Structure 1
Protein backbone atom coordinates (compact mmCIF):
# COMPACT_ATOMS: atom_id res chain seq x y z
CA UNK A 1 0.00 0.00 0.00
CA UNK A 2 2.82 2.41 0.87
CA UNK A 3 4.63 1.55 -2.37
CA UNK A 4 1.50 2.41 -4.37
CA UNK A 5 1.18 5.81 -2.65
CA UNK A 6 4.85 6.62 -3.26
CA UNK A 7 4.58 5.48 -6.89
CA UNK A 8 1.47 7.64 -7.42
CA UNK A 9 3.24 10.63 -5.94
CA UNK A 10 6.34 10.03 -8.07
CA UNK A 11 4.26 9.76 -11.24
CA UNK A 12 2.26 12.88 -10.40
CA UNK A 13 5.29 15.02 -9.49
CA UNK A 14 6.12 16.04 -13.10
CA UNK A 15 2.53 17.22 -13.53
CA UNK A 16 2.75 19.29 -10.36
CA UNK A 17 6.05 20.81 -11.41
CA UNK A 18 4.69 21.55 -14.87
CA UNK A 19 1.78 23.39 -13.26
CA UNK A 20 4.31 25.66 -11.55
CA UNK A 21 5.75 26.84 -14.87
CA UNK A 22 3.29 29.74 -15.32
CA UNK A 23 4.03 30.95 -11.78
CA UNK A 24 7.75 30.63 -12.43
CA UNK A 25 7.44 32.70 -15.60
CA UNK A 26 5.59 35.41 -13.67
CA UNK A 27 8.41 35.51 -11.15
CA UNK A 28 11.08 35.87 -13.83
CA UNK A 29 12.49 39.29 -14.59
CA UNK A 30 11.29 40.97 -17.78
CA UNK A 31 14.88 41.94 -18.74
CA UNK A 32 15.96 39.35 -21.31
CA UNK A 33 16.38 36.44 -18.93
CA UNK A 34 18.62 38.14 -16.37
CA UNK A 35 17.59 37.51 -12.80
CA UNK A 36 16.28 40.62 -11.14
CA UNK A 37 13.37 41.97 -9.16
CA UNK A 38 9.82 41.09 -10.13
CA UNK A 39 8.61 43.83 -12.50
CA UNK A 40 5.36 44.76 -14.28
CA UNK A 41 5.26 47.93 -16.37
CA UNK A 42 7.18 50.69 -14.60
CA UNK A 43 6.81 49.02 -11.18
CA UNK A 44 9.42 46.68 -9.71
CA UNK A 45 9.77 45.15 -6.27
CA UNK A 46 12.11 47.23 -4.11
CA UNK A 47 11.44 50.56 -5.81
CA UNK A 48 10.45 53.77 -4.06
CA UNK A 49 8.48 56.44 -5.95
CA UNK A 50 7.81 60.05 -5.02
CA UNK A 51 4.39 61.17 -6.25
CA UNK A 52 3.48 64.85 -6.13
CA UNK A 53 0.94 67.17 -7.59
CA UNK A 54 -1.33 70.17 -7.30
CA UNK A 55 -5.05 69.78 -6.72
CA UNK A 56 -7.68 72.04 -5.18
CA UNK A 57 -5.05 74.82 -4.75
CA UNK A 58 -2.78 72.66 -2.60
CA UNK A 59 0.49 70.85 -3.13
CA UNK A 60 0.51 67.19 -2.13
CA UNK A 61 3.36 64.71 -2.02
CA UNK A 62 3.79 61.12 -0.87
CA UNK A 63 6.33 58.33 -1.08
CA UNK A 64 5.20 54.95 -2.38
CA UNK A 65 7.29 51.82 -1.83
CA UNK A 66 6.87 48.59 -3.77
CA UNK A 67 7.40 45.76 -1.24
CA UNK A 68 5.78 43.16 -3.52
CA UNK A 69 3.72 42.84 -6.70
CA UNK A 70 0.63 40.65 -6.52
CA UNK A 71 -2.18 40.01 -8.97
CA UNK A 72 -5.28 41.85 -7.74
CA UNK A 73 -8.29 41.63 -10.07
CA UNK A 74 -6.23 41.57 -13.27
CA UNK A 75 -3.81 44.29 -12.15
CA UNK A 76 -0.44 43.99 -10.46
CA UNK A 77 -0.43 45.85 -7.15
CA UNK A 78 2.05 46.55 -4.38
CA UNK A 79 -0.37 45.15 -1.77
CA UNK A 80 -3.02 42.46 -1.68
CA UNK A 81 -6.68 43.44 -2.00
CA UNK A 82 -7.22 42.76 1.71
CA UNK A 83 -4.29 44.98 2.75
CA UNK A 84 -5.48 47.74 0.41
CA UNK A 85 -9.05 47.52 1.73
CA UNK A 86 -7.83 47.60 5.33
CA UNK A 87 -5.50 50.56 4.75
CA UNK A 88 -8.14 52.66 3.05
CA UNK A 89 -11.07 51.53 5.22
CA UNK A 90 -9.14 52.23 8.44
CA UNK A 91 -8.25 55.67 7.00
CA UNK A 92 -4.53 55.18 7.69
CA UNK A 93 -3.01 58.46 6.54
CA UNK A 94 0.03 57.79 4.39
CA UNK A 95 -0.99 54.26 3.36
CA UNK A 96 -0.21 54.01 -0.36
CA UNK A 97 -0.75 51.46 -3.14
CA UNK A 98 0.83 51.33 -6.59
CA UNK A 99 -0.75 49.29 -9.39
CA UNK A 100 -0.16 48.50 -13.05
CA UNK A 101 -2.90 47.47 -15.49
CA UNK A 102 -1.31 45.44 -18.33
CA UNK A 103 -4.48 45.59 -20.47
CA UNK A 104 -4.60 49.40 -20.45
CA UNK A 105 -0.84 49.83 -20.01
CA UNK A 106 -1.45 52.35 -17.27
CA UNK A 107 -0.25 52.79 -13.71
CA UNK A 108 -1.89 54.30 -10.67
CA UNK A 109 -0.69 55.50 -7.28
CA UNK A 110 -3.37 55.81 -4.58
CA UNK A 111 -2.90 56.99 -1.03
CA UNK A 112 -4.81 58.01 2.08
CA UNK A 113 -4.43 61.68 2.93
CA UNK A 114 -4.53 63.42 6.27
CA UNK A 115 -8.00 64.88 6.85
CA UNK A 116 -6.80 67.13 9.67
CA UNK A 117 -7.05 66.98 13.44
CA UNK A 118 -10.44 65.97 14.76
CA UNK A 119 -11.85 65.16 11.31
CA UNK A 120 -13.41 61.79 10.55
CA UNK A 121 -13.46 62.43 6.79
CA UNK A 122 -11.78 59.92 4.49
CA UNK A 123 -9.37 61.72 2.18
CA UNK A 124 -7.82 59.90 -0.80
CA UNK A 125 -5.58 60.87 -3.68
CA UNK A 126 -5.17 59.01 -6.98
CA UNK A 127 -2.46 59.74 -9.53
CA UNK A 128 -3.50 58.01 -12.78
CA UNK A 129 -0.76 57.63 -15.38
CA UNK A 130 -1.86 56.66 -18.90
CA UNK A 131 1.44 57.55 -20.60
CA UNK A 132 4.30 55.54 -19.10
CA UNK A 133 7.10 57.11 -21.11
CA UNK A 134 9.41 59.91 -20.04
CA UNK A 135 10.78 61.03 -16.72
CA UNK A 136 8.92 61.98 -14.63
CA UNK A 137 5.67 60.19 -15.45
CA UNK A 138 2.87 62.78 -15.77
CA UNK A 139 -0.79 62.12 -15.02
CA UNK A 140 -4.10 63.24 -13.55
CA UNK A 141 -4.44 63.69 -9.80
CA UNK A 142 -7.84 63.15 -8.22
CA UNK A 143 -8.67 64.36 -4.71
CA UNK A 144 -11.52 62.54 -3.00
CA UNK A 145 -13.32 63.09 0.28
CA UNK A 146 -15.69 60.50 1.76
CA UNK A 147 -15.86 58.60 -1.53
CA UNK A 148 -16.73 61.65 -3.67
CA UNK A 149 -14.39 63.34 -6.16
CA UNK A 150 -13.72 66.88 -4.97
CA UNK A 151 -11.21 68.10 -7.56
CA UNK A 152 -8.80 67.07 -10.30
CA UNK A 153 -5.31 68.36 -10.94
CA UNK A 154 -1.98 67.17 -12.28
CA UNK A 155 0.58 64.81 -10.79
CA UNK A 156 3.98 63.41 -11.51
CA UNK A 157 5.68 60.24 -10.34
CA UNK A 158 9.46 60.07 -9.99
CA UNK A 159 11.35 56.87 -9.38
CA UNK A 160 13.73 57.72 -6.53
CA UNK A 161 17.30 57.76 -7.74
CA UNK A 162 16.32 58.94 -11.24
CA UNK A 163 15.81 62.47 -12.45
Structure 2
Protein backbone atom coordinates (compact mmCIF):
# COMPACT_ATOMS: atom_id res chain seq x y z
CA UNK A 1 0.00 0.00 0.00
CA UNK A 2 1.39 3.33 -1.07
CA UNK A 3 0.83 6.53 0.82
CA UNK A 4 -0.25 9.64 -0.90
CA UNK A 5 1.01 13.18 -0.31
CA UNK A 6 -1.77 13.95 2.19
CA UNK A 7 -1.61 10.68 4.15
CA UNK A 8 -0.43 10.71 7.75
CA UNK A 9 2.74 8.86 8.85
CA UNK A 10 2.39 5.17 9.76
CA UNK A 11 2.55 5.81 13.54
CA UNK A 12 -0.16 6.99 15.89
CA UNK A 13 -0.68 10.44 17.46
CA UNK A 14 0.58 9.07 20.81
CA UNK A 15 3.90 8.14 19.23
CA UNK A 16 4.26 11.64 17.77
CA UNK A 17 4.01 13.03 21.31
CA UNK A 18 6.38 10.45 22.77
CA UNK A 19 9.24 10.88 20.26
CA UNK A 20 10.24 14.43 21.36
CA UNK A 21 10.14 13.29 25.00
CA UNK A 22 12.46 10.36 24.22
CA UNK A 23 14.88 12.73 22.47
CA UNK A 24 14.91 15.03 25.50
CA UNK A 25 15.53 12.07 27.83
CA UNK A 26 18.55 11.00 25.74
CA UNK A 27 19.98 14.53 25.87
CA UNK A 28 19.47 14.79 29.63
CA UNK A 29 21.11 11.39 30.12
CA UNK A 30 24.22 12.62 28.31
CA UNK A 31 24.48 15.48 30.84
CA UNK A 32 24.59 13.12 33.83
CA UNK A 33 28.43 12.90 34.02
CA UNK A 34 28.70 16.68 33.89
CA UNK A 35 26.05 17.12 36.57
CA UNK A 36 27.77 14.50 38.74
CA UNK A 37 31.12 16.31 38.44
CA UNK A 38 29.49 19.66 39.24
CA UNK A 39 27.82 18.17 42.33
CA UNK A 40 31.14 16.68 43.47
CA UNK A 41 32.94 20.03 43.06
CA UNK A 42 30.19 21.80 45.00
CA UNK A 43 30.54 19.28 47.83
CA UNK A 44 34.36 19.02 47.97
CA UNK A 45 35.40 22.39 46.55
CA UNK A 46 37.85 22.83 43.67
CA UNK A 47 41.01 20.77 43.70
CA UNK A 48 44.35 22.50 44.12
CA UNK A 49 46.23 23.15 40.91
CA UNK A 50 49.12 20.73 40.55
CA UNK A 51 52.08 19.90 38.35
CA UNK A 52 53.55 16.42 38.68
CA UNK A 53 54.22 15.81 42.38
CA UNK A 54 53.71 19.50 43.22
CA UNK A 55 50.45 20.82 44.61
CA UNK A 56 49.63 24.27 45.95
CA UNK A 57 49.74 24.28 49.75
CA UNK A 58 52.55 21.74 50.10
CA UNK A 59 55.80 22.30 51.92
CA UNK A 60 58.87 20.26 51.04
CA UNK A 61 61.77 19.66 53.45
CA UNK A 62 65.07 19.69 51.55
CA UNK A 63 68.23 18.40 53.22
CA UNK A 64 71.65 17.81 51.75
CA UNK A 65 75.40 17.82 52.01
CA UNK A 66 77.67 19.91 49.80
CA UNK A 67 81.22 21.17 50.42
CA UNK A 68 81.20 19.46 53.85
CA UNK A 69 78.20 21.63 54.82
CA UNK A 70 74.84 20.25 55.96
CA UNK A 71 72.00 22.15 54.33
CA UNK A 72 68.31 22.25 55.26
CA UNK A 73 65.54 24.30 53.72
CA UNK A 74 61.73 24.24 53.67
CA UNK A 75 60.29 25.01 50.24
CA UNK A 76 56.63 26.05 50.20
CA UNK A 77 54.50 25.65 47.06
CA UNK A 78 52.39 28.81 47.27
CA UNK A 79 51.50 29.09 43.59
CA UNK A 80 52.14 27.33 40.30
CA UNK A 81 52.79 29.31 37.12
CA UNK A 82 52.80 27.45 33.81
CA UNK A 83 51.31 24.18 32.64
CA UNK A 84 50.81 20.86 34.46
CA UNK A 85 53.80 19.33 32.58
CA UNK A 86 56.05 22.35 33.17
CA UNK A 87 55.40 24.71 36.07
CA UNK A 88 57.16 26.73 38.76
CA UNK A 89 56.28 28.66 41.89
CA UNK A 90 57.48 31.97 40.42
CA UNK A 91 57.20 33.49 36.98
CA UNK A 92 60.54 33.71 35.15
CA UNK A 93 60.68 37.51 35.44
CA UNK A 94 60.04 37.42 39.21
CA UNK A 95 62.58 34.63 39.68
CA UNK A 96 65.29 36.49 37.80
CA UNK A 97 64.76 39.69 39.80
CA UNK A 98 64.68 37.89 43.16
CA UNK A 99 67.81 35.84 42.55
CA UNK A 100 69.69 38.78 41.06
CA UNK A 101 69.01 40.70 44.26
CA UNK A 102 70.45 37.75 46.25
CA UNK A 103 67.77 37.91 48.93
CA UNK A 104 68.36 35.04 51.37
CA UNK A 105 65.37 32.73 51.53
CA UNK A 106 64.29 33.48 47.97
CA UNK A 107 63.25 30.16 46.48
CA UNK A 108 61.53 28.56 43.54
CA UNK A 109 60.24 25.05 42.99
CA UNK A 110 60.14 23.79 39.40
CA UNK A 111 58.70 20.73 37.70
CA UNK A 112 59.45 19.83 34.08
CA UNK A 113 58.06 16.67 32.45
CA UNK A 114 58.68 17.67 28.84
CA UNK A 115 61.60 15.21 28.70
CA UNK A 116 62.90 13.28 31.68
CA UNK A 117 60.66 14.30 34.63
CA UNK A 118 62.74 16.70 36.73
CA UNK A 119 61.90 18.35 40.02
CA UNK A 120 64.11 21.25 41.19
CA UNK A 121 64.25 23.14 44.45
CA UNK A 122 66.34 26.32 44.13
CA UNK A 123 67.00 28.80 46.94
CA UNK A 124 69.37 31.53 48.09
CA UNK A 125 70.99 30.33 51.30
CA UNK A 126 72.93 33.45 52.16
CA UNK A 127 74.93 36.21 50.54
CA UNK A 128 78.68 36.36 51.15
CA UNK A 129 80.73 39.29 49.87
CA UNK A 130 77.76 40.45 47.78
CA UNK A 131 77.50 37.04 46.06
CA UNK A 132 74.44 34.91 46.69
CA UNK A 133 74.94 31.24 47.55
CA UNK A 134 72.38 29.57 45.32
CA UNK A 135 71.53 25.96 46.11
CA UNK A 136 69.78 23.67 43.63
CA UNK A 137 68.46 20.23 44.56
CA UNK A 138 67.71 18.39 41.30
CA UNK A 139 65.57 15.23 41.36
CA UNK A 140 65.44 13.26 38.10
CA UNK A 141 63.57 10.24 39.42
CA UNK A 142 60.49 11.53 41.29
CA UNK A 143 58.86 8.14 41.88
CA UNK A 144 58.96 7.37 45.58
CA UNK A 145 59.72 9.54 48.57
CA UNK A 146 62.01 10.63 49.95
CA UNK A 147 63.31 11.83 46.60
CA UNK A 148 67.07 11.54 46.14
CA UNK A 149 69.04 13.91 43.95
CA UNK A 150 72.05 16.09 43.32
CA UNK A 151 72.70 19.26 45.31
CA UNK A 152 74.60 22.03 43.56
CA UNK A 153 76.04 25.11 45.27
CA UNK A 154 76.73 28.06 43.00
CA UNK A 155 78.84 30.72 44.74
CA UNK A 156 79.52 32.72 41.60
CA UNK A 157 82.73 30.81 40.88
CA UNK A 158 83.53 29.11 37.56
CA UNK A 159 82.74 25.61 38.87
CA UNK A 160 79.73 24.96 41.13
CA UNK A 161 80.16 22.52 44.02
CA UNK A 162 78.19 19.25 43.99
CA UNK A 163 76.77 17.02 46.68
CA UNK A 164 73.61 15.05 47.40
CA UNK A 165 70.12 16.02 48.58
CA UNK A 166 66.83 14.58 49.74
CA UNK A 167 63.35 16.08 49.30
CA UNK A 168 60.52 14.94 51.56
CA UNK A 169 56.92 16.19 51.56
CA UNK A 170 56.05 17.83 54.91
CA UNK A 171 52.62 19.11 53.86
TM-score normalised over the length of structure 1 = 0.71
Per-residue deviation at 1:43? 0.5
Larger CA Rg, structure 1 vs 2: 2
- Equivalent residue for 1:76, pick from 87, 93, 114: 87
**Number of residues of Structure 1 aligned to a counterpart in Structure 2:** 125
1:103-134: per-residue Cα shift (whole Å, max 9, x none)?
12111000012134xx2112100000001011
Residues 54-73 of structure 1 aligned to structure 2 (within 5 Å): 54-71=65-82
- Give 3-state SS (helix, strand or coil) of 1:152's partner: strand
Mapped contact 1:43–1:66 kept (Cα < 8 A): yes
Task: Name which of structure 1's ranges 139-148 and 41-50 shifts more when overlaid on structure 2.
Answer: 139-148
Change (3 A) 1:147 1:41: farther
Q: Which residue of 1 aligns with 2:165?
A: 155
- Equivalent residue for 2:123, pick from 111, 121, 141: 111
Residues 11-160 of structure 1 aligned to structure 2 (within 5 Å): 35-71=46-82, 75-103=86-114, 104-116=116-128, 119-146=129-156, 148-160=158-170
TM-score normalised over the length of structure 2 = 0.68
Runs of 4+ in 1 over 6 A off after TM superposition: none
In structure 2, list runs of 5 or more residues that go unmatched: 1-44
